[in-house]
Amino acid sequence: MQVTEPQELSDLIDEGLNRIDLPGKPGVLYDPVRYTLGLPGKRVRPLLTLIGCGLSGGKVKEALSAAIAIELLHNFTLLHDDIMDAAGTRRGQPSVFKKWSANTAILSGDAMYAKAFKQLQYYGYNEAYSKEHYALILDIFLDSAQRVCEGQAYDLDFEKREQVSIQEYLQMIDGKTAALISSSLAIGGAVAAAAKPTIDRLRKVGQKTGIAFQIQDDLLDVVADPDKFGKQRGGDIKEGKKTYLSLLALQRCDADQKDRLSEILADQEPSDDDVATVIEWYNELGVIDTTRNVIRQYYEEAMEQIETFDQSCYKNEIITLLNRLISREY
């Protein structure tokens, strides 16, 4: 039976996650995996995989294995990101890096990556999928993994550089964040055996959504309720991260402000007053308002691509999802 209701899509994802084979031993390997998958999350990427399949006229239940593979890949990257960022929290809870150790986080992340490929084997063993069909699904998955790594590498490089352009930053988040969201939709279309132009449209929806999502994260870092967002306000400023807001501010501020802003971002332990000053400049320079407009523009470009698909419950669902993302507070 075809799945048609949004809640059924979420239930299907939960069902798929619960079916993952996670042995009791060794606990040091699988307990952190269970912990990570049990953390509260939006499950945006697996949902998009199912929606991508439905938009392409496929049977969404057939895309479940791909959806779970994408979710495992996403969480694998988060475990490794937390090590690289020395992040103590994830989704408002202690990160695996903090709760266990860096070595445990690396090992458990690798286990999730292996489990992701186990999920994709469904299409290799299923006679309904040709070798070419299976190869396309794998290619989309592997391309997304590679592009996430490339985006993360650019992010690391930016930490050492004094000057980074906004265009370079957009290129970085196109890989680090947007690639996996784009591939989530595309792999759903691939499972449905959609034609290349359809898969390309799905990629475009995901790319625009992913870029908007990351810039929105940058914005929420300074405007969101820390209790809801799960991070301290101005955390990116404290860590000296290159964000859309900081790069735009550096373009707009005067020479004295630019020198001081650069000093604060380079400081290993900026004071709370310094962080408050930067946020005040973001408001005075119109950075907050401009960033909100840019986010909306990217979401609107994603919506324009969605409108090219035939009317269906899946089209309604992705429109609802994007509207929810546009107005998210954390």
Contacts of 131 (CB under 8 A, 6+ apart): none
Q: Give SS3 for 221.
A: helix
Q: What are the structure tokens assigned to 314, written together? A: 């899946």
pLDDT tens for the chain, 330 residues: list them.
Answer: 355 555 789 999 999 999 999 999 999 999 999 999 999 888 999 999 999 999 999 999 999 999 999 999 999 999 999 998 888 888 878 999 999 999 999 999 999 999 999 999 999 999 999 999 999 999 999 999 999 999 999 999 998 888 999 999 999 999 999 999 999 999 999 999 999 999 999 999 999 999 999 999 999 999 987 777 666 789 899 989 999 999 999 999 999 999 999 999 999 899 999 999 999 999 999 999 999 999 999 999 999 999 999 999 999 999 999 999 898 877
For the chain, the straight-line distance linking the first and the last C-alpha, in angstroms and rounded, comes to: 35
Amino acid identity of residue 290, one-letter, is: T
Q: What are the structure tokens assigned to 321, written together? A: 């999802």
Q: Tally the C-alpha atoms within 13 A of residue 15's C-alpha that lie toward its C-beta.
A: 10
Question: pTM of this prediction?
Answer: 0.92
Burial per residue of 211-236, b for 16 or more beta-carbon CB atoms within 10 angstroms, e otherwise: bbbbbbbbbbbbbbeeeebbbebbbb
| Rounded (10°) CA dihedral 247, 252, 255, 258 | -30
Given the structure tokens 């079916």, which residue do they identify?
19
Residues 137, 58: contact at Cβ < 8 Å? no
Count of beta carbons in the 10 Å neighbourhood of residue 162: 9
